[in-house]
Amino acid sequence: MRLGVIDCGSNSVRLVVYEVKGGRESRREGKPFRTLVDEKKMAGLSSYVEDGVLTAAGIDKAAAVLGDLLRLADNLKCEHVGIFATAVLRNCANSRAATQIIEEAIDHKVHVLSAKEEAHLGFVGASIGRDLDAGTLIDIGGGSAELTALRPDGDHAGISLPGGCVAFYAQYVRLVMPTIDECRTMAEAFSELLNEAGDLAPYRTTAAFGIGGSLRAVSKLLAQVRESEKPATVTREDVDELFALLERDPSAYAHAVVKAAPDRVHSLTPGMAIARTLMERLGVQKITLCKYGIREGYLLDRML
């Protein structure tokens, strides 16, 4: 089968087309699919949220981008396309009404994932082709950050924190590249969200797993700064090294970000500030990056 998954996020909307060659039961033996097309459009939907409400312009933008990607999926002969949305639609005050308008405009169902569903699907994707040891799965998105407690028998507790790299950029960064002082402010703000989250004991671990573009972008930045291959793990020392460069030579840091992740120039550093705060508060010494995440989890769990 040829199946499409559209991920409607706070910053980007992404269509991935898969050729499926196995069922969900085969994910631990190896991926039951191959990726044919990966098309990303920068929509910046979080910038259309005003006073907690997704504006009419934001709704129109979402419908237009989703419509374009649905037409692309149709041209690519997808037998079925699944669309899901995360924090940007989940957390806005007019979530239900906005989703209904978008669905009517594109004539297609949009699944607004709950925080629990998002965390579980991230786990399903991260575990493709590998067993995840006990620890914590971290996913830093544009509008929120998800933590999932892992045990040998699967995922257990999960929380969603209402702070993501794009949301923090919009709230705390004056220009394009955050200053070191703005990074400290973002770290304090995210630490306060952790204080409000309650008991963090289930998520305390020395070794965590990471999914999503924010953490992969940190790996790309490390490779750019060191002129090396992208590391498969990100340590606290690695993140400290990058922040030290930002403080010591902001120009060199900014140029490295542009080369490493040009589509994340504004959001990479806020995501890194969130990552370091999580590592410090949870006792994480290293984050092992997983190749697959929520889109592949959605494919296996909801479409097969």
* CATH architecture of structural domain 2-112: 2-Layer Sandwich (3.30)
| Cα separation of the two ends of the chain | 10
Query: What is the four-CA torsion angle of 251, 289, 4, 166, rounded to 10 degrees?
Result: -40
Q: What is the per-residue pLDDT for 204?
A: 96
Q: Check if the beta carbon of residue 235 is closer than 8 Å to that of residue 158.
A: no
Q: SS3 for 32?
A: coil
Question: Do 2-112 and 131-289 have matching folds?
Answer: yes
Instruction: Classify residue 300 by burial, with Cβ atoms within 10 Å: 0-12, 13-18, 19+.
Output: buried
The structure tokens listed for 143 are 């509008």
Q: What is the per-residue pLDDT for 24?
A: 52
Q: What is the per-residue pLDDT for 22?
A: 63
Report d(CA 247, CA 128) in Å as an integer: 38
Query: What is the four-CA torsion angle of 65, 113, 144, 116, rounded to 10 degrees?
Result: -160
102-118 burial: b if 16+ Cβ within 10 Å, else e:
beeebeeebebbebebb
Q: What is the per-residue pLDDT for 25?
A: 57
The sheet carrying 154-161 orders its strands as: 154-161, 145-151, 135-140, 207-211, 286-289, 233-235
Q: What is the per-residue pLDDT for 130?
A: 81
Q: SS3 for 264?
A: helix
Q: What is the per-residue pLDDT for 126?
A: 93
Q: SS3 for 216?
A: helix
Report d(CA 11, CA 143) in Å as an integer: 8
**Interval 3-38: pLDDT, tens:** 999 999 998 999 999 999 865 555 445 678 999 999
Domain coordinates of the chain in residue numbers? 2-112, 131-289
Low-confidence ranges of the chain (pLDDT < 70): 22-30
What's domain 131-289's superfamily in CATH? Exopolyphosphatase. Domain 2 (3.30.420.150)
Q: What is the per-residue pLDDT for 283?
A: 98
The structure tokens listed for 123 are 């786990």
Q: What is the per-residue pLDDT for 303?
A: 95
Q: SS3 for 50?
A: strand
**Interval 140-183: pLDDT, tens:** 999 999 999 998 777 777 899 999 999 999 999 999 999 999 99
